[in-house]
A and B are shown apart, each in its own frame.
Chain A
Amino acid sequence: MNPESLARSLAQHPFCKDLTQGQNEFLAGCAKNARYEAGEYLVREGSLAESLFLVRAGSVAIESHIPGKGAVKVDTLAPGDILGWSVLLPPFRWHLDARALEPTLVFALDANCLRGKVQADHGFGYAFTLRLLAAASERLTHARLQQLDVYKAELG
């Protein structure tokens, strides 16, 4: 994919909605396409956070490995979702595993490149961070509801 068409398809992703064309091209400078087969790990817990992923197609499970229970899924991501705010936050390491559940297409945004751009252009940095915050907030809201375990039977 040439840089122009990469920028164009990146702009279609919900994460990039309402970025200016300039900001979008700026961001595209860090992006590349990637494909993961079913069962393939996008990231492993503890490893260095080298990319932020924007899911384009397929689905991704967020898992944690619990001895005796195996890989426990805590969330699944679908097209439009993002993976990896660890890229901006020290110690830049993943907290959980992420594994493709089916053939999955993503934009992988290079972590070092992103950090550099966010530093270099604070206008862009603000727009980018706000999106990251929105995604984090949504994820946290859902996690809290999930934690409430609202369907549990209260035996009387």
Chain B
Amino acid sequence: MDIWSLPRSRLGELIALLRARGYDVVGPTPRDGAIVYDSIESDAELPVGLGDEQSPGQYRVVPRDDGAVFGFAAGPGSFKRAFHVPEERLYRVQREGKTLRFVPEPVAPRKVALLGARGCDLSALRVLDRVLEGDRYRDERYAARRSEVLLIAVHCGSPSSTCFCSSMGTGPRAGGPWDLALTELTSGEHRFVVETGSPIGLALVRELGLLTASTLDKIHAAKVPVVAAQRITRRLEADGLGARLAKNLDHPRFAQVAERCLACANCTQVCPTCFCTTIEDFTDLDGAGAERRRRWDSCFNPEFSYIHGGPVRPSTRARYRQWMTHKLSSWHEQFGSSGCVGCGRCITWCPVGIDITEEARAIASAGTSEKAT
């Protein structure tokens, strides 16, 4: 497989080519003091020369002096929004005499190119695919939106302090499948080393008429995720973690973390794999029609577990435990993998800086003696 070189000055051509081929290009863009993913029309909308500083409970966009385009880590938004949308109408309900008619809201067909997907982003999409497409149930709306997606990955060179992808096996190098994978090199001439992973990817490279990358650039590019991995200090010991957490559901640490947790649901909103939804009902003012809308929900909301009589999980302790053990433990039994990809968003965006890696370590450690037997 050949490896190619894309000058920074020609990145806009890639975006234009994708758009010409009918793709809605969804990539990173600065907005409201953060770098998020949204539809972009040109490379001018990318976060050029912007990076970020992240720590538990802290996020700040900062300028970079190297003009990097992908020089930031995971922001508050994830690609989840493009497929598992935050809020949508499922169907309209019309009264026809005494009977009801349910009219499904169509999903507009859309070709999407994800530009700049990191290893954690791609892993998160695979996790969501398994939940919403790969299990006994298939979410037709998700499947329709996900049906024509081109993946342009970026091997991450700019992890933040809250990242822990290396211990989750999801990055910083972006695991395939992807159509194209870019590595950004800013020293000397600003350029991207481009790998192709599919016939479509190769066709794009051909159409752009890219030259093959030099041997030196290939070496430089290979080093980028390796150096990034060395900068990642946060770890989650994922091996056997699920079973150990499941044995420690009454660990006192859950009560301790609940004293800090605000049950604000930020972690579930920024998590790229949290998939819970609720359906809400609305009636037209004239009473003749109604609609049912689906929106993201969160296991931190008290009414999330409501049954006749009251919520099953009234305490923050139980709700934090549900979120954390679902992600790290029961997800394995439900969907055959961890629900965590190590992107660190929940740590950064927690207003009180609760660190899932720290909590999991404390709670799982009580069970380690059993592992030795």
Contacts and interface: CB of A to CB of B under 8 A. Distances in A.
B109 interface: no
Contacts of B308: 154, 156
Nearest to B306: A156
A156 B309 CA distance: 8
A65 B309 CA distance: 32
Interface residues of A, number: 2
Per DSSP, chain B at the interface is loop
A104 to B, nearest CB: 39
B310 interface: yes
A82 to B, nearest CB: 35
A154 B309 CA distance: 5
Interface residues of B, number: 3
A154 to B, nearest CB: 4
Contacts of B310: 154
Interface string B301-335: 00000001110000000000000000000000000
Per DSSP, chain A at the interface is loop
B269 to A, nearest CB: 27
B97 to A, nearest CB: 31
Contacts of A154: 308-310
Contacts of B309: 154
B68 to A, nearest CB: 54
Contacts of A156: 308
Interface in A132-156: 154, 156
B45 to A, nearest CB: 48
Nearest to A156: B308
A156 B306 CA distance: 10
Interface string A98-137: 0000000000000000000000000000000000000000
A66 B308 CA distance: 32
Nearest to B308: A154
B281 to A, nearest CB: 16
A156 B308 CA distance: 8
A154 B310 CA distance: 8
A27 B373 CA distance: 54
B302 to A, nearest CB: 13
A154 B307 CA distance: 10
B69 to A, nearest CB: 52
Interface string B154-180: 000000000000000000000000000
A156 B310 CA distance: 9
Interface in B264-314: 308-310
Nearest to A150: B309
A151 to B, nearest CB: 11
B284 to A, nearest CB: 25
4 contacts: A154-B308, A154-B309, A154-B310, A156-B308
Interface of A: 154, 156
The 4 closest A-B pairs by CB, nearest first: A154-B309, A154-B308, A154-B310, A156-B308
